[in-house]
Amino acid sequence: MDTVTGQKWLIGIFSTLIIVVLMIVAGVEMEKTRLRRPEIEISSSTRDCIHCHEKQGVAPKLVEEWKLSEHAEMGIGCIECHEAQEGEWDAMRCPESRVVIGKHPTPKDCQGCHETQVKEFANSKHVLSQSFMALKGTDRNVFEPTVATKHGCEQCHHIGNYWPDQSIGECDACHSKHRFDIAQARHSETCGECHIGPDHPHIEIFLESKHGNIYSTFASDYDWDYEPGEPVTFTGPTCATCHMSGTLTNDHFTHNVSDRLTWESQAPFSVRTQEYWGGFSWQEKRRRMEGVCYQCHARSFVDRYLLTADLCNLLYNEIWEATIKWMRLLRQHDVVKTDKFEFEGKAITGWPVVGYDEEQEHIAYKNWHHEGRRFRHGAEMMGADYTQWHGIWELQENLAKLIQYGAEHGVPEARMWRESKDPNKFMKLYPLYDIPGGSWGPSAMALRGDMAMDRIPDYWETIYSNVKAAHENDLLTEKQWDLYTKLYENREAEIGRQFDLPELHQELMDTLNYDLKELYKRQKVELTSFK
C-alpha cells in the first residue's frame, strides 16, 4: 500500500470514528433534554414530603413521576392535593411528620382547580360504573365469589367510586398518579385497561378497525400534547378523539364520555340515551358524533354507516326479545327450573336473582352480556369480525341452542322449528332490519342469488315497514328516515344487480372451480401407509 492510500485509509477511519462519537454525544444530549427536570418552586411542606419519601424509600418513583408533571412546573405540590383536616374520613399523619394529610385525594379535591372536568365527569355514564357493578350486578352478586370480583370487576368499575366526602369518581383511572399526564389519557391503551375482554372488547374492536390500523402505524408520529379543546392534530382517531376531544365544528372537548353516545348499547335492550346524561337529546349527541366523523369522512359515508349501525342495534333488540321468548317457553314447559326472571315485562336491566345453575341460562345471558354487546359495539366501531363471527353468528348459534334444547325436552314449538325444512326458518325467528347496498358501495352479496332477500317474498317491503315503525317511534332521526327512503326507492342500483359483473369474474370462477376439482382428485389418490 503506498503512502497516499494509507493516508486516505487513516482519514476515513478517523472520520468514521468522529461521526460515531458525535452521534453518541448527540444521543446523550437528547436524552438529557428529554429527562431534564423543569425548574420547580415548591412550598416548604412539599419539600419536607419529598425529602422524607426519598430518604425513607417510600414510593420514591411516585416522587419522580410528580417531578415530570405539569403540576410540578406550576408549583402544585403534595399538600395542595393531599390537604386534610383532623377527623376527616381519610386523615392520617405520616410517622415522621405532624402534618395531617388525606390518604385518598378524591374528585372533590381535584375540583378546586378542575371544576368543569369534574362536573362533566359526574354527568357521564362512567360515574355509574360502581353502582352498576354493586347494585345492579346480580350476576356478580349471585354467581361469583366476592373476593375475586374485588380484584376483577371492581378494579375497572372503581372509576365511578362513591367516596365518603360525597364525590364520585376516580380521576387517576385515566390520568395515573402522580404525573397526571394528558398524553397518557389520550392513548387508546389507557381506555383498553378496562374496555377489553369478551363482554366489551372495545380496544380489540378499535385495533381491528381501520382507525386502529392507522393508529398502530402512525401513533409514534402524533403530537399527543396538543392544547385541550383544540381539534385533534392528527388523522386516525383514538378513543379520546371520538368521545372527548374538540372537533372542527367547534364542539367543546369534554370529560363526559356520554356526550356523543346515542345508544345505551351495553344494556340488555338497546335504548336511546336520556337527556340526563349530558343535558341534551340523543339527536344532539348524534350531531356531535357526526361532527367528529365529518373531519375525516365524506358525509354520505358517515350518514349511511351510522344508519346501518343503528339498524344493527334495532336488530339486536329483536334477537334479545326472541331469546327471552324462548327462555319463557322453556320455563313454562318446566325445562328450565328458574322460578322468575327479572326481565319480565321487557325490563331494560336485570337477570335472574336465582339461577346461573343451568346451561340454558348461561347461553341466554351471554346473548346479552357477551355476544350481544360485541355485535352492537362492533357495528358502531367498524369492527367487522366482532360484528360478524364474534357477534351476529354467535347470537344466532346461541338462540338455536336454546331451541334445540327445548326440542330435545318436548317443547312443541321448538320441535316444530327444528324439524322445519324451510331455508328461511332462521330469518323468521324475529323481525328483520336491513339496508340496500353497503357503506362502501354495492354489497358483494348482490353476486349471490340465494340470499334472504331472494328467498323471502316481499322482503324489502317488510324491511321498509320495520324501519318506518322505528322512525315513527323516534328511534331514527328525520334525516335518517329521508336517507333510508332514498336508498329503498333506489334499491336495485344500491344492491348492484342492475350492473354487469366485471369481465374477469367468470375467469376467476373458472379458476376457482378448477382448483377445487384438482384438490378433490388429489384427495382421492390412494396412498401407501407405513406398516
| 12: in domain | no
Indicate whether 156 and 63 sit together in one domain. Answer: no
Domain final residue, candidates 56, 74, 105: 105
Domain range spanning residue 396?
195-431
Indicate whether 224 and 263 sit together in one domain. Answer: yes
Indicate whether 50 and 80 sit together in one domain. Answer: yes
Residue-level pLDDT, tens digit, the chain, 531 residues: 566 566 666 666 666 766 666 666 666 555 544 444 556 778 888 888 898 888 889 999 999 999 999 999 999 999 999 999 999 999 998 877 788 999 999 999 999 999 999 999 999 989 888 877 666 666 777 777 888 888 888 889 889 999 999 999 999 999 999 999 999 999 999 999 999 999 999 999 999 999 999 999 999 899 898 888 788 888 889 999 999 998 887 667 899 999 999 999 998 899 999 888 878 899 999 999 999 999 999 999 999 999 999 999 999 999 999 998 999 899 899 999 877 666 655 544 445 555 678 899 889 989 999 999 999 999 999 999 999 999 999 999 999 999 999 999 999 999 999 999 999 999 999 999 999 988 888 776 667 677 888 889 999 999 999 999 999 999 999 999 999 999 999 998 898 887 888 889 888 888 888 888 877 777 666 656 565
Please report where in the chains the cell 425529602 appears, as a residue: 51
Indicate whether 163 and 215 sit together in one domain. Answer: no
| 226: in domain | yes
Domain final residue, candidates 88, 105, 122: 105
- pLDDT score recorded for residue 72: 92
Indicate whether 203 and 249 sit together in one domain. Answer: yes
What is the domain count for the chain? 3
- pLDDT score recorded for residue 348: 44
Indicate whether 269 and 369 sit together in one domain. Answer: yes
Amino acid at 32: K
Whether residue 414 contacts residue 404, with contact meaning beta carbons closer than 8 Å, is answered with: yes
Indicate whether 166 and 201 sit together in one domain. Answer: no
- pLDDT score recorded for residue 345: 53
**Contacts made by residues 503-509, CB under 8 angstroms, sequence distance 24+:** none
Give the DSSP per-residue string, 49-82. HHHHHHHHTSSHHHHHHHHTSHHHHTT--HHHHH
Indicate whether 93 and 126 sit together in one domain. Answer: no
Distance (Å) of CA 429 to CA 210, 319, 454: 33, 8, 18
Please report where in the chains the cell 444530549 appears, as a residue: 29
SS3 272: strand
Indicate whether 165 and 265 sit together in one domain. Answer: no
100, β-bridge pairs? 93
Nearest-angstrom CA–CA distance, 502 and 493: 16
Mention every residue, 6+ apart, whose C-beta is less than 8 A from residue 290: 302, 303, 306
SS (H, E, C) 290-327: HHHHCCCCCHHHHHHHHHHHHHHHHHHHHHHHHHHHHH
Domain final residue, candidates 412, 431, 450: 431
| 252: in domain | yes
Indicate whether 218 and 158 sit together in one domain. Answer: no
Cell numbers that stand for 22 in this block: 458525535
| 239: in domain | yes
| 418: in domain | yes
- pLDDT score recorded for residue 513: 86
| 374: in domain | yes
Nearest-angstrom CA–CA distance, 403 and 385: 25
Indicate whether 244 and 149 sit together in one domain. Answer: no
Nearest-angstrom CA–CA distance, 27 and 144: 53
- pLDDT score recorded for residue 62: 92
Indicate whether 397 and 423 sit together in one domain. Answer: yes
| 90: in domain | yes
| 382: in domain | yes
